[in-house]
Each structure stands twice: as C-alpha cells, then as structure tokens.
Structure 1
C-alpha cells in the first residue's frame, strides 16, 4: 500500500469493511489508520447472525454499500485482500461496475 501511495500516477483509495469495522474483532480499521493510511470509505455489512441466511443478508447489505463506495470513488482498479465473503461481495460489485 505504501508503494502504491508513493508511486506517481497512482492514487491509493482504501475501503474497509467486514471484521475491520466490528467491535467484536477489535475495530482493526484503526490499525490501518495508525499506520498512516486514510480510509476513504467504510462499508458496514456484518449482521450478528452467522447462519447461511444471516451471511446472505450481510452480502446483500454489502453489495449496496460497495455499489455506493465504488460509485463515489470511481476507481480504475480494485485490489482485494481477505478470505471471507466480504471480499466476494467487493469483487462482485466491482465486476458489475466494470472495474
């Protein structure tokens, strides 16, 4: 992220979502900020239910949030990092937005 930030012609934009925004998991978005990065958008999407239905509903909420975030930020490229369904939602929204 620091390399992107320091490369001429590139603009780093950060979207935090999922567990990064959860008090239950330590609000880890704050670690990103304490490392000197600005979070451009936060996409709240986690529901308290971890059932299949709850996760599916969280994904729907996330799709709306990522649609808004991507529309506002207008990125040319999206790099995702994660191993949960939140990243699938981010990639799906970017695909629909032709990013």
Structure 2
C-alpha cells in the first residue's frame, strides 16, 4: 500500500499518464500553471464521476478492491476522529459498513 503522504502524488502521476492530451494542451504554460491545470482537471474528473478527489486518488492507486476498501475506511476513520465522533457514530451517520 502506498504511504498516505504519497497517495495524492502517485494518483496525479497516474492521471497525467492517462491523459497525455491534457499535458500537450498545457505544455506552453509555466510549471506552476501546469500543476494547477492538472489539479483542476483531476478534480473535474472526480466531480464528473460524482465522487470526491480523494476517492478518485484512491481508485487510481489501489492495487485491489480489498486495498481500496481498506484505504477508504482509513480515510473515513481519520475524518471521524477529526470530527470528534466515535467510529460507530460516524459509520452509522454515513452508512459505512466495515
């Protein structure tokens, strides 16, 4: 499993490889502008699928359905903790099954 700190970077790299036409369109822009355009395109892709960008990132980097499920649960558990909710409360509120 890719470490949490590296997941978004890995997902963006896979997204770029899957979208060479985007890279061609933005090649004249500065590096900073290219990164911004790539991030926006990534977020737009997630939105078009009806999911959050973190979910798209996990879908791109997961090596198996089991790994995807484990990473999703990990993110949800972190959110529950940040919100000060018990895992059971959060899970019930969001209809999440372990």
Return the TM-score normalized by structure 1.
0.30
Q: Name the structure where strand makes up a greater proportion of residues.
A: 1
When normalised by structure 2's length, the TM-score is: 0.30
Name the structure where helix makes up a greater proportion of residues: 2
Give 1 or 2 for the bigger CA radius of gyration: 2
Greater RCO (Cα-Cα under 8 Å, separation 6 or more) = 2
